[in-house]
Amino acid sequence: MGRVVALLANFCWVELDSPGADGITRLLCTRRTRLGKSGLQICTGDRVRVEGIDWAAGRAAVGSLLPRQSLLERPAVANVTRVVVVVALAEPELDPLQLTRFLLTAEATGQPVELVFSKADLPEPAAVEQWCGRTQTWGYQPVALSTATGLGLDALRERLSQPGLAVLCGPSGVGKSSLLNALRPELELRVGEVSGRLQRGRHTTRHVELFPIAPGALVADSPGFNRPALPSDPAALALLFPELRQQLAAVSCRFSNCLHQGDPGCAIAPGWDREALYRQCLADLLAEAAREEKRTATGPGLRQRGSRLEPRLDPRLRQESRRRQRQQAHGDEPLEELSPPGPAG
């Protein structure tokens, strides 16, 4: 048995629980066809059983997945025990709505959530203190750090050294890979600059990969993205805000389906810090629910075009694109790289 530590196209690297022949600890694995037919998707962090091992070639196949304890859907990481949301205080400028959406995604896993403010050497100290104090009222104990000065690295190293699997998630360009390089310089992870015109990070991490930080402690570096999805249930949104969760644990609303918008009988008093952000997220969820209901109402064989419904084209009548035809004619291109993506630690 072992753990999936990286995914590369149709292959995955599996770190074994115990060394095999000649001390091999990592195998390049394919996936058994029966897993795909059963709809099981392998994620980084999955615990798996391997079979058909070729020790000389360092190859094997994943035969089965063990039950997952948790799953972070984006980035897709299984068996997460801690989610670390990393956002920059500058370059790119911190967006409270984007930060809130990342925190909601992390809270939806049901696992402990850590908050890290990177690039703390760039803004004025008063601005750093203001953001740390503000997010403490949200229910977090943030770490402000700088890989340039070393500020906060020891505090974060102590948190990440706890046994389990922590995943770093956040927008592109906030310094997640730089953070890991500062904690473990031998990793030499690729890092990039922030776009000067758009002030957005450039994607340098292409896949999720696990790295050992301490005995029994793994950290997942993940590709950045700038707009995390919201949970699907509007009624469950409030419980993903720690400050609301604490209030609702003490006092219940009059109506069980309350959406906490200041209606009579609501237990949440108006004027809390993230009220406007909560209302905006709730409005986005309700709008998406309305769009989904409209799509369902049109029926599986119809689609909405302007003010009228029209039949959908039968998929069997669709012609394949020229690109798809060329791919089928020439076959899939071989992988450019099948070497281990990082040190085993």
Express each pLDDT in 14-56 by its tens digit.
Answer: 999 998 888 899 999 988 888 777 777 888 999 999 999 999 9
Element (H, E) at 261: none
* 60 in Cβ contact with 52 (< 8 Å): yes
- The pLDDT score that the predictor gives to residue 130 is 96
| Higher per-residue pLDDT: 147 or 203 | 147
Distance CA 69, CA 340 (A): 26
User: 0.85 exceeded by the pTM?
Assistant: no
Give the residue, 67 or 300, on which the prediction is more confident.
67
Write out the DSSP string of 139-170. Answer: T---EE--TTT-TTHHHHHHHHTSSEEEEEE-
Give domain 2-67's CATH architecture.
Beta Barrel (2.40)
Does residue 174 surpass a pLDDT of 90? Answer: no
Q: What pLDDT does residue 124 have?
A: 94
The 10s digit of each residue's pLDDT in 229-242 is 787 888 889 999 99
pLDDT digits (tens, 9 = 90+) for 279-296: 999 999 888 888 877 776
Q: Output the pLDDT for position 195.
A: 41
Share of the chain above pLDDT 90, in %: 39
Q: What is the CA radius of gyration of the chain?
A: 23
Chain segment 48-92, per-residue pLDDT in tens: 999 999 999 999 999 889 999 888 887 788 999 999 999 999 988
Given the DSSP bridges, would you call strands 209-214 and 217-221 parallel, antiparallel or unpaired? Answer: antiparallel
The structural domains of the chain, with segments of one domain joined by +, span: 2-67, 72-221, 234-309
Q: Does the pLDDT of residue 301 top 90, yes or no? A: no
CA atoms of 286 and 291, how far apart (whole Å): 9
CB 21 within 8 A of CB 57: no
Q: What is the dihedral of CA 282, 286, 291, 294, to 10 degrees?
A: 170
> Is there a contact between 180 and 221 (Cβ–Cβ < 8 Å)?
yes
Is pLDDT at 337 greater than 50 in this prediction?
Answer: no
Tell me the helix, strand and coil percentages in the chain, rounded to 5.
Answer: 30, 25, 45
Task: Determine the pLDDT at residue 335.
Answer: 45
72-221 in CATH: which number?
3.40.50.300
